[in-house]
Structure 1
Amino acid sequence: MSKLRILYVANEINPFLQTSEVAEFVRKLPQAMQERGMEIRILVPRFGTINERKNRLHEVVRLSGINISVGDEEKPLVIKVASIPNAKLQVYFIDNEDYFHRKHVFFDKENKFFEDNDERAIFFCKGVIETVRKLGWAPDIVHCNDWMTSLVPMYLKTTYKNDPLFANTKTVFTVYNNEFTHKFSENLIDKVKMIDIEDSMLTHLESADLEGFIRIGMQYSDLVIKSGENFNERMEDVFSEFTDKKIEEIDADQDYLESYYNLYNELVG
C-alpha cells in the first residue's frame, strides 16, 4: 500500500495538554500510524496553559504572518512547533494573542464557558487549513477530533474544494463524549461563512450549540467515528439523524490501532 499522509486535528495532545480522553488518543494514534509507514502531521491550538519554555515551542516564521477572518475581523495567525519527547513526531500549534493567551482552556476560573469559544474554533479550523497550504503538504486524510475541529470538513468541501492540494483528501470526524450546554450568539453563522458557503449549507448551526457543531462535522465528513459509549440522549438523537452516514464505533479496549489503520486504507482505496 502507498504511504498515506494523515493530518490529525484536535484541541489537545499529551504531553502538552490534557483535559479529556482526546489528548491521549491523539498522542497514541499518530505515532502508531507513523510506525506503520504513514506520514503524519498534527495541529492543535496553543492554549495559554501550555508552557512554551518547558515544552520548547518556537515560532515557525515562514508559516506565520497571514490574517484569518472571523466575521468582520481579521486576526494574525502565528504558528509554533514542538517535538513530542521520545517520539519522532512534531506538533504544530495554532496561536493568536486574542484567542489563546488566557490561562484557561474553554472555561474561565469561575467555570464559565468563554463566550468567544465559537470564534476560537473558527479561527483554529481556518488556521489549520491555511497552515497546511503554506506547508504545501497534500493530506490523503484529515482526521478531526472533537467539536472544535468540526468546521474543517465543511471548509474543505466548500471554500477549498478547488484547491489542488485537497483534491483527493478524505475527512474523518471523531465525536467524543465531551459536553457543554452553552448557546452561542445569533451571528454564529455569519462568523462561520466563507467564500462559496451559503446560509443553506449551515442550517445545522442554527441551534448555535454543541450539537450544531457536531452535526456540521458529521454532515461534511466522509467518515464519522463514535468514540466510546454513554452519550446523552440529545447526542444519541444527533447520531440517529444521519441514517445516510457511515458511523463507525471503535472499541478502545480492543486493538483500535489496527482498526484505524484498516479504516484509513479503506477510505482512500
Structure 2
Amino acid sequence: MAPKKVLFVSQEVSPYLPDTSMSVLGRDIPQGIHGKEFEVRSFTPKYGCINERRNQLHEVIRLSGMNLIIDDSDHPLIIKVATLLPSRMQVYFIDNDDYFQPLPEKGLETDLLPADNDERIMFFTMGVAETVKKLRWQPAVIHCSGWVSALTPLYLRRRYSDDPIFRDSKIVYALQPEKFEGTLDPRFAEKLRMSDFSEEDIAALGSDPVDFATLNRLAIDYADAVIQVTGDVDPALVEYAKASGKPFLAYEGEEDRVDRYTEFYRSLLGEEDD
C-alpha cells in the first residue's frame, strides 16, 4: 500500500530558525512520521533571517513566478526548497520580499510586524495551496501549526473546496501558545471579502479588529480536528475546541508524541488499530 501523504504547514521549523518549542516540534513530528506509513512534506515561511547558503536552500523555478493578489496588489511568489536531514524530507519555503524580509542585522521578530500580519498570513496560505496544486501532491492529512497557518482551514474549505487536491483532506489545527500582540489590520475582513470570501464565510471574525484568539477560533471552526500542542495553550481556546465536538488530542507530555500524533492521524482516516 502506498504511504499516505501528510502536509505540514508550520510557522517555524528548526534548524532553519533557532530552537523553540514550536520550531523543534515543526522538525520532530514531520521527521518522526516521514518514511514509515506516511510521506511528508513541510511548508514554512522563508523569513529573511534564514541563511540560505548555510541551510542549502535553492529556488524551484518551475514552482515560482506566480503573482498572488492581496488587497488589489500583486505579490510575486517565490518557492525555495531544502532537504531536512537525516530523514531527507523536503521542506518548502514561501518567499516574498514584501512580507518575509527583516531589517538589516535584525531577526525573526522583524519579519512579523503586526501591521503586516493580516496580508502575510493570506499570502502564506495562498502560496502553500497554489504550490501544492502545482506539485499535484494530494495530502490525506494537512497539519497546520502556529497562527501564521491559521487561515489554511478557511481557505481550503471555502476557496479551494472544489479542488480535487484538497477536497478529501483532513485538516488538523494545532493550538500553540505563541501569540501575536494586539490586533490585525482593521481592514482584514474587507481584504478577505476581496479574495472572494462571503460574509457568511468569515462571520466568526465579527465586527471588531481580529486578535489572536479570534483568529484561532476561526481556524478551529474550519478544521476537522484539533491538537493541543503544549500544556500552556490558552485554556479558553482548548475549551472552545472541545466544545466544537471535533476530534481533539489533548497534551499528554512530550514522550511518545510522534506515536500519539500518528494514531490520531490514523483515526481521522478511519484506520484505527484493531
Structure 1 contact 94–127 (Cα < 8 Å) conserved: yes
Matches within 5 A, 1:197-236: 197-206=197-206, 207-231=209-233, 235-236=234-235
CA distance in 1, matches of 2:148, 2:245: 20
Q: Answer with 177-186 or 215-224: which moved more.
A: 177-186
1:97 aligns with 2:91: no
How far has the Cα of 1:19 moved from its partner?
6.2
CA distance in 2, matches of 1:180, 1:41: 26
How far has the Cα of 1:194 moved from its partner?
6.0
How far has the Cα of 1:238 moved from its partner?
3.3
Q: Deviations over 1:87-130 (max 9, x none)?
A: 31111000001111224566339xx9431022111100110000
Q: Answer with 131-140 or 244-253: which moved more.
A: 244-253
The aligned amino acid for 1:39 is E
Corresponding residue for residue 239 of structure 2: 240
Structure 1 contact 42–91 (Cα < 8 Å) conserved: yes
Q: Secondary structure at the match of 2:165?
A: helix
Structure 1 contact 6–141 (Cα < 8 Å) conserved: yes
Structure 1 contact 224–245 (Cα < 8 Å) conserved: no
Corresponding residue for residue 256 of structure 2: 255
Structure 1 gaps, min length 5 = none
Q: Secondary structure at the match of 2:127?
A: helix
Q: Deviations over 1:174-215 (max 9, x none)?
A: 011112322122110122346652122213333411112101
Using the aligned pairs only, state the percent identity: 34
Q: Secondary structure at the match of 1:225?
A: strand
Report the TM-score when normalising by structure 2.
0.89
- Give the 3 Å change call, closer, same or farther, for CA 90–228 of structure 1 in structure 2: same
Q: Deviations over 1:141-185 (max 9, x none)?
A: 110001110111111111111111112111000011112322122
In the alignment of these two chains, the number of paired residues is: 264
CA distance in 2, matches of 1:128, 1:193: 20
Structure 2 contact 63–78 (Cα < 8 Å) conserved: yes
Corresponding residue for residue 42 of structure 2: 42
CA distance in 1, matches of 2:168, 2:194: 21
Matches within 5 A, 1:1-269: 3-18=3-18, 20-103=20-103, 104=106, 107-108=109-110, 113-193=113-193, 197-206=197-206, 207-231=209-233, 235-242=234-241, 243-246=243-246, 247-269=248-270
CA distance in 2, matches of 1:205, 1:107: 25
CA distance in 1, matches of 2:8, 2:126: 14
Structure 1 contact 106–117 (Cα < 8 Å) conserved: no
- Give the 3 Å change call, closer, same or farther, for CA 216–83 of structure 1 in structure 2: same
- Give the 3 Å change call, closer, same or farther, for CA 18–70 of structure 1 in structure 2: farther
CA distance in 2, matches of 1:230, 1:158: 31
Structure 2 gaps, min length 5 = none
The aligned amino acid for 1:254 is E
The aligned amino acid for 2:90 is Q
- RMSD over aligned Cα, in angstroms? 2.0
